[in-house]
Amino acid sequence: MRNKGDFLFTSESVSEGHPDKVADRISDTVLDCFLRADPEARVACETLVTTNRIVLAGEVRGPSSVNKDLLENATREAVRDIGYDQAGFSWKNAEFQYYLHAQSADIAVGVDSAGEKDEGAGDQGIMFGFATTETETLMPAPISYSHEILRRMAAYRKSGHALGQGLQPDAKSQVTLRYVDGKPVGATSVVISTQHDENKSQNEIREALRQVVAEVLPEGWTVPEDQFYVNPTGIFVIGGPDGDCGLTGRKIIVDTYGGAAPHGGGAFSGKDPTKVDRSAAYVCRYLAKNVVAAGLADRCTLQLSYAIGVAHPLSLYVDLDGTGKDIDEARLERVLREAVDLTPRGIRRHLRMNRPIYGQTSAYGHFGRTPDASLDDFTWERTDLVDTLRQAFNR
């Protein structure tokens, strides 16, 4: 997304009850179970959910105590927490199928550390991070508001609040903002589709969601009535995995920057942090956010690349999109390499990633989240490199 000029830009989010997000939540629940038992466990878990069926598949390496029964119970509790107890998909009686097996020895030999060999990346690939001054969380505004609308709807639904009555877990939101000279100045349209009870009228849903949107968008950003779309098809009773098959890793743009920045293509959920698809994407966000938080630029896009079995990144690239405050980008790249060990092990240690902190990342975005001090989660959202970066550039 360009940083100058007048334009419209749109991002979408999906709720924790969207079929793909149900799959992501289950995959990350499996990961947390393994990391709780062994911080060095290896997990690559894929989940499929459909009408009253949950299927786990993938490769793992961890203690035998993390078995099928434990994972089935954890999976059912995750589905229960999301809110599914429907005829077509219920936490209590959905069929559970288990196809996790041991990690490939060919992968393990390239990734594991041994003797003088450092731990290698779990795969090849490119990863991006991004930050912008558009919001307090240094995230793009369209995806931030799209997430917050759905997060608030879910909170109201689960708490029994009047604004959430009759809503069911599956939902989508989409927010279009108008930019003037590269800065968001207002909303031009909002789209929300939400699963609901059969006896809930569309007018009741529309009026409730109008209040939710008003709570989320800045004052004065109310969209025109003819640009406020709620359940455009007219009815949304059959939803969740009963209405559409869900798979892990199909919402990678929702998970990151809503299309406002490049994406390397790798999904996050169900992958332990030796997989640089996840850990390197997190550290890219961490570095980009600290650059912007330090006042070195208004926008920062950062890329890392890795080769499987090789510890150090093959490249680090920084683009300040013309917003740098007299900053040499090549020098910034060198400073960032010195500030953080960007090997897979270095990233995990710096961000303390070998802990069961991933279930809560699976919906409403992996970035721009407020860390919970009691959980010490979302460590990649910290801005503890700010002083180091300012000193490096005499700020």
Rounded distance between C-alpha atoms, residue 326 and residue 322, angstroms: 10
> Is 172 part of any known ligand binding site?
yes
> Is 41 part of any known ligand binding site?
no
> Is 250 part of any known ligand binding site?
yes
Query: Measuring CA to CA, how many Å separate 208 from each of 147, 164, 217?
Result: 17, 8, 15
Rounded distance between C-alpha atoms, residue 231 and residue 170, angstroms: 12
> Is 170 part of any known ligand binding site?
yes
Collapsed DSSP state (helix, strand, coil) of residue 287:
helix
> Is 171 part of any known ligand binding site?
yes
> Is 244 part of any known ligand binding site?
yes
> Is 271 part of any known ligand binding site?
yes
Which pairing describes strands 42-50 and 315-319: parallel, antiparallel, or unpaired? unpaired
**Could you tell me the strand order of the sheet in which 7-14 lies?**
7-14, 167-180, 183-196, 228-230
> Is 46 part of any known ligand binding site?
yes
Write out the DSSP string of 230-293. Answer: ESTTS---S-HHHHS-EETT--HHHHTTTTSS---S---TTB-TTSHHHHHHHHHHHHHHHHHH
> Is 20 part of any known ligand binding site?
yes
CB 277 within 8 A of CB 127: yes
Collapsed DSSP state (helix, strand, coil) of residue 257:
coil
User: Which residues are documented as binding site for ATP?
Assistant: 18, 170-172, 244, 250-251, 267, 271
Q: Which residues are annotated as a binding site for K(+)?
A: 46
Q: Can you say which residues are annotated as belonging to the binding site for Mg(2+)?
A: 20
Binding residues are 18, 20, 46, 59, 103, 170-172, 244, 250-251, 267, 271, 275
Could you list the residues known to form a binding site for L-methionine, using ranges: 59, 103, 244, 275
